[in-house]
């Protein structure tokens, strides 16, 4: 009887030591990972949105103007859904002939525009090298410089007074988004007609006309990297017809 009691005490002490020691078996807490928003995942898959060197997206951090411009430009550099991507039969009726003529003419004109773009880029590079400092207060080897240059020269999203290191707010982001989508002229015209210097009412009207109503949730507010990604996704959907 005493032997059994001693054995029981030994087993109890051994159990306490095993459970209490650092190497012992412990129940691990359940880690719940929220599923990634499908829209943000599509930007990741397309390499439009990329993480920082520490592999974190930092979606909750406020976004700068320069970061937002880079995201927009990555979308604008992608092929747009046009008739040029359609397969048109080499033989057929008169309609096919008109379509082939349209595709050829558009392709030739796009080639002319590409040449003009290259000339503008060379001219801009030569001009900025002769001046002191660098445009927008960043160096030419900065990861933002090419996107800022294209946004200024090719897409009219910014001017030389743009401050890429300042935080972006929702109204500025929406205005830039609509300009990238080709609706910037409408915003400017409505602001003038309504005598609306702030422009939020003009943004609301243009967004409603073109199905961008949801982006107005960000108007007048600071926007995070996650918010910026959703705004950029809306531009991608508009250009690819996937919205």
pLDDT in tens, 183-200: 999 999 999 999 887 789
Q: What is the dihedral of CA 132, 68, 175, 236, to 10 degrees?
A: 130
Q: What is the CA radius of gyration of the chain?
A: 28
State the pTM of this model.
0.71
pLDDT at residue number 141: 85
pLDDT in tens, 25-42: 334 333 333 456 899 999
Which of 215, 217, 223 has the alpha carbon at shortest distance from 67?
223
pLDDT over threshold 70, residue 216: yes
Q: Give the C-alpha separation, 130 to 138, whole Å.
A: 16
Q: Give the C-alpha separation, 159 to 154, whole Å.
A: 11
pLDDT in tens, 70-107: 999 999 988 765 444 455 555 556 666 766 665 667 66
- Are 81 and 240 in contact, with CB atoms under 8 Å apart? yes
Domain boundaries along the sequence of the chain: 36-45+57-63+167-243, 79-159
| Proportion of the chain above pLDDT 70, given as a percent | 61
Rounded alpha-carbon distances, angstroms, from residue 214 to 54, 206, 207, 208: 32, 12, 8, 9
């Amino acid at each position: 009887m005493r032997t059994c009691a001693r054995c029981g005490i030994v087993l109890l002490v051994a159990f306490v030591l095993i459970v209490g020691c650092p190497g012992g078996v412990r129940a691990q807490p359940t880690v719940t990972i929220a599923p990634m928003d499908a829209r943000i995942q599509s930007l990741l898959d397309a390499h439009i949105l990329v993480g920082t060197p520490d592999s974190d997206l930092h979606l909750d951090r406020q976004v700068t103007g320069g970061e937002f411009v880079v995201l927009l430009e990555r979308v604008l550099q992608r092929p747009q859904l046009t008739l040029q991507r359609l397969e048109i039969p080499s033989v057929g009726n008169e309609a096919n002939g008109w379509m082939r003529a349209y595709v050829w003419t558009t392709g030739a004109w796009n080639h002319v525009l590409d040449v003009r773009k290259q000339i503008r880029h060379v001219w801009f590079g030569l001009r900025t090298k002769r001046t002191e400092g660098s445009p927008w207060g960043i160096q030419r080897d900065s990861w933002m410089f090419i996107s800022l240059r294209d946004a200024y020269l090719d897409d009219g999203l910014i001017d030389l007074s743009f401050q890429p290191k300042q935080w972006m707010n929702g109204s500025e982001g929406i205005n830039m988004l609509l300009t990238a989508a080709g609706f910037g002229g409408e915003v400017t015209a409505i602001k003038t007609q309504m005598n609306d210097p702030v422009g939020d009412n003009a943004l609301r009207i243009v967004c409603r006309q073109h199905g961008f109503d949801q982006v107005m949730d960000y108007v007048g507010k600071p926007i995070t990297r996650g918010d910026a990604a959703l705004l950029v996704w809306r531009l991608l959907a508009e250009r690819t017809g996937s919205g």
